């Protein structure tokens, strides 16, 4: 269990928790801001345009994060308010993963800029590297075409035949199976590391 890291390496535990909370909160805010741009003011009306992680994640997600290293977020959106429902769904769904990708590349940029800086000793390179790694994994994971992940809503607009799956237990079953396969997480991590090594 992830909570064992708190005993073995409390600094790593705190870094992961902080990075995941920030990353998921910004991910959800990105969804909300793009929804607003598409004509849906639901995120604003329900108070979700905020940096408060409790609003985006809730206590359950925060507890799961600390115990099992698994977390999720939510952003209330009413797609019927979009000027173009199909385009709006694609843009809003893409915004979250894209936010994680941008965060990852920002961290990688900082790592490269500060590598030879005289101020390098004041920065935690491990923190920025871990942040880039986690955000790349979030980007890749959220693009999977499995409900309720963002990738499903993107692909279901391109391939409408997939839409009925969101009303079944397929997504829950598929995610449970993925989390039970250690190689899945290892695979995502390996791809993220490959990207990091390629850029850095």
Question: How many CB atoms sit inside 10 A of residue 169's CB?
Answer: 10
Domain count, the chain: 1
Q: Among 10-19, 41-50, 115-124, whose mean pLDDT is lowest?
A: 115-124
Q: Which helix (H) or strand (E) holds 8?
A: helix 5-8
| Domain span at 117 | 2-199
The answer to whether 171 and 146 have CB atoms below 8 angstroms apart is yes
Q: What is the pLDDT of residues 131-173, one digit of tens each?
A: 999 999 999 999 999 999 999 999 999 998 988 888 888 888 8
Q: Is 28 a residue of the active site?
A: yes
Q: Which residues contact 33 (CB under 8 A, 6 or more apart)?
A: 43, 49, 95
**Location of structure tokens 């099992």:** 68
Catalytic residue among 4, 28, 121, 157: 28
């Amino acid at each position: 269990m992830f909570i064992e890291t708190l005993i073995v390496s409390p600094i790593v535990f705190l870094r992961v928790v902080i990075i995941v909370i920030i990353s998921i909160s910004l991910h959800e805010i990105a969804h909300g801001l793009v929804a607003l741009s598409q004509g849906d003011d639901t995120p604003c009306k329900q108070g979700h345009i905020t940096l408060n992680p409790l609003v985006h994640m809730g206590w359950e997600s925060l507890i799961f994060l600390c115990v099992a290293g698994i977390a999720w977020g939510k952003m209330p959106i009413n797609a019927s308010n979009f000027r173009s429902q199909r385009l709006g769904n694609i843009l809003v769904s893409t915004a979250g993963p894209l936010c994680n990708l941008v965060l990852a590349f920002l961290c990688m940029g900082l790592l490269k800029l500060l590598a030879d800086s005289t101020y390098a000793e004041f920065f935690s390179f491990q923190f920025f590297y871990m942040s880039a790694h986690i955000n790349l994994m979030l980007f890749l994971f959220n693009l999977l075409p499995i409900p309720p992940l963002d990738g499903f809503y993107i692909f279901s607009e391109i391939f409408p035949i997939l839409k009925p799956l969101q009303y079944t237990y397929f997504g829950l079953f598929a995610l449970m199976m993925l989390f039970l396969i250690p190689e899945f997480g290892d695979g995502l991590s390996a791809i993220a590391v490959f990207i990091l090594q390629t850029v850095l």
